[in-house]
Amino acid sequence: MAETVASLLAGHRSGKIAVADTVSRTFRRLRDADDPAIFISVRDEADIQAEARALLERDPDTLPLYGIPVAVKDNIDVAGMPTTAACPAYAYTPKTDAEAVARLRRAGALIIGKTNLDQFATGLVGARSPYGMPRNPLRGDLVSGGSSSGSAVAVARGIVPLALGTDTAGSGRVPAGLNNIVGLKPSLGLISATGVVPACRALDTVSVFALTTEDAFAALSVMAGHDESDAFSRRLPLGSIAAIPPALRIAVPRLADRIHFGDVQAEAAFNAAIELVRGLGATLVEVDLTPLFETARLLYEGPWVAERTAAVGDFIAKHPDAVHPVTKAIITPGADKSAVDTFRAFYKLTAYRGVAAKLFAGVDALMVPTFPRPVRAAELDADPIGPNSGLGTYTNFVNLLDLAGLAVPVALTADRTAYGVTLLAPCGRDAFLASLGGAIHSRTGLTLGALDTAQPPRAPPASALARGEIAIAVVGAHLSGMPLNQELTALNARFIGEAKTTPDYRLFALKTEPPKPGLLRIASGAGASIAVEIWALPAEGFACFVDAVPPPLSIGTLQLEDGRAVKGFLVEAEATRDARDISEFGGWRAFIGSR
């Protein structure tokens, strides 16, 4: 039976599952896995049991991760444990936890040990480590993915329900896809990188592996938040998992950009994912990914190689024989990059970011394969670079373009090959991606990781307003799928649900360009019930949104047929004199569809 964060948390809080027993099972599963390459170092079980006993003195309802076992990638500091970055000669023992780890501990999590990785987080295959290559638990002939290989395998095998990785070029997504688990790559700066060995410091982020999207987002919610000690930390809103709006627009690669290197199973898996998204009521928009692929080339051809050199180049120069030959071959050329190279690359990146902004202006998210095809371990003997590069086809551009990402499973074939998709959206849209990814994953009917255990039922998304949120009813171009909806989503609004007004309103098509609806309240019971969508906005976002509403529209209070009163769009009566009454359609979406 797979233990998720949600199921363990419920059991711990109710007393049906003892935290001490959870710790014992964790170590038993670690032994049963019989794979010494998963963890580089493991804490003493007795020490963790002592922490479990100490939790009994705490109120479990105040600890979001009460008694949850967590594995940590070994380029992230855990106090008292060596940080090796998979290079024994580099090892040091920190006195304090990385900020992300400290926040997990404060939430009640129990740190089990440090997991294996591609050395200095450079690679996507999981094979560039002196500690061995963790076995793919689904198919032993395939790589487990990297660089966060041990963390992904530990979750897929059910040793722990939660693990930290890092992600610079795909290290938190590719292993998730290859192991049939969820990989959450947060917006840059959302999680503190204090206490993390840098790869490309400007592009690095701590990532999360879990069996479900809800579990991954629970960990993100604990770790997210500004950190004064991290110069790259950003004050970003987070939000919460919400219902899926009824008229999403999801971008997918045009046919020419669906790269699978001849893997027919990979092609079928992505096509199946497209149908799953259509089943959610979304409109699919094919887009040209050429600018994104060109952006990806900057990562290993431009100054970001020099950023890797800045991180560990001095160590490599002093200890050349202590470094994996492939890792050394990738990092050391960065010393030859010039300031001129850097500025030319930044000019290109600025242009590519502009193109990407236009792409996302017309859609809610971009869905791509997590990787084109899986890689066999034997392939790396003949070519240690090429197969690795192929795995990064759909991941290398993401952090350069400042996107949030979420990798979710979509297929597990008869030969136990896992395939997944990655959902991408602009920085700050992490909660929306979790909402969408959870909905897609649940519709696959897949089992969890390598455990052959069914997914748990999804809890209904929260419909109540969170603290500091204000509900607003939209009736026209701000509806999901409509041209102005991104004015809401850019302010981190979340969809609450559909509703209807009381029959006290008339809806008009105003004589504006572009056409806009106007909702006018009239005598009680003399109008029609008009369809609206309810969105929740953070208070600051609500203020910005209201300030931008142009006349003759305004924000007033709407009465809904379910008894609620919410803020929403109304129109000045004068503006309806020459407007067409379209109340008979029952809403703006129905009217637009009739034209």
Reduce the secondary structure of 130-199 to three states and give it as a string: CCCCCCCCCCCCECCCCCCHHHHHHHHCCCCCEEEEEECCCCCCHHHHHCCCEEEECCCCCECCCCECCC
CA dihedral (184, 190, 191, 195) in degrees, to 10, reads 130
pLDDT in tens, the chain (595 residues): 679 999 999 999 999 999 999 999 999 999 999 999 999 999 999 999 999 999 999 999 999 999 999 999 999 999 999 999 999 999 999 999 999 999 999 999 999 999 999 999 999 999 999 999 999 999 999 999 999 999 999 999 999 999 999 999 999 999 999 999 999 999 999 999 999 999 999 999 999 999 999 999 999 999 999 999 999 999 998 888 999 999 999 999 999 999 999 999 999 999 999 999 999 999 999 999 999 999 999 998 778 999 999 999 999 999 999 999 999 999 999 999 999 999 999 999 999 999 999 999 989 999 999 999 999 999 998 999 999 999 999 999 999 999 999 999 999 999 999 999 999 999 999 999 999 999 999 999 999 999 999 999 988 777 778 888 999 999 999 999 998 999 999 898 999 999 999 999 999 999 888 889 999 999 887 899 999 999 999 999 999 999 999 999 999 999 999 999 999 999 999 999 999 999 999 999 999 988 7
What is the spatial distance between Cα 119 and Cα 200, in angstroms, rounded to a whole number? 14
Run of H or E including 52: helix 45-55
- Please tell me the distance from the alpha carbon of residue 228 to that of residue 111, in angstroms, as a whole number: 24
| pLDDT of amino acid 1 | 60
* Beta-bridge mates of residue 454: 447
1 C-beta neighbours (distance < 10 Å), count: 7
With CA atoms as reference, report the closest residue to 120 among 376, 314, 405: 314
**One-letter amino acid for residue 560 of the chain:** L
pLDDT, residue 3, reads 93
Q: Residue 571: enclosing H or E segment and its boundaries?
A: strand 565-571
Choose among 490, 471, 489: nearest CA to 480. Answer: 489
Q: List C-alpha distances in Å: 317 to 36, 82, 118, 328.
A: 30, 22, 19, 9
Residue 192 designated active-site: no
Q: Which residues contact 246 (CB under 8 A, 6 or more apart)?
A: 281, 480, 481, 498, 533
Neighbours of 457 (CB within 10 A): 7
* Nearest Cα residue to 178 out of 416, 492, 396: 416
Question: Kindly report the CA angle at 346 between 226 and 342, in degrees rounded to 5?
Answer: 105
Q: Is the peptide bond before 514 cis (omega within 30 degrees of 0)?
A: yes
pLDDT value of residue 285 = 97
73: annotated active-site residue: yes
Q: Are 39 and 116 in contact (CB under 8 A)?
A: yes
Options 129, 147, 187, 233, the catalytic residue: 147
Query: Catalytic: 529?
Result: no
Answer positive or negative: Cα dihedral of 330, 336, 339, 342: negative
Report whether 161 contacts 210 (CB < 8 A): yes
Residue of 129, 148, 171, 480 marked catalytic: 171
CA distance between the termini of the chain: 53
Q: Looking at residue 373, what is its pLDDT?
A: 98
Strands 249-253 and 283-287: parallel
Write the CB contacts of 96 (distance below 8 Å, at least 6 apart in sequence): 77, 79, 102, 195
Burial class (CB in 10 A: 0-12, 13-18, 19+), 355: middle
Strand segments (E) across 381-452: 403-412, 418-426
Strand-pair category, 110-115 with 39-42 = antiparallel
What pLDDT is recorded for position 237?
86
3-class DSSP assignment, residue 13: helix
Residue 501 DSSP symbol: B
Q: Which residue from 288, 263, 200 is spatially nearest to 391, judged by alpha carbons?
A: 263
pLDDT of 302 reads 76
Helices and strands of the chain, counted as H and E runs: 18, 19
Task: Go through 475-489 and write b for each residue having 16 or more CB atoms within 10 A of its CB, e for each that does not.
Answer: bbbbbbbbeebbbbb
**Domains annotated on the chain, with CATH:** 5-290+348-444 (3.90.1300.10), 469-594 (3.10.490.10)
3-state secondary structure 57-87: CCCHHHCCCCCCEEEEECCECCCCCCECCCC
Q: Which two tokens stand for residue 481?
A: 């799928």
What does 201-241 look like in DSSP terms, one character per residue? TTT-EEEEEESSHHHHHHHHHHHBS--TT-TT---------
Sign of CA dihedral 524, 528, 534, 539: negative
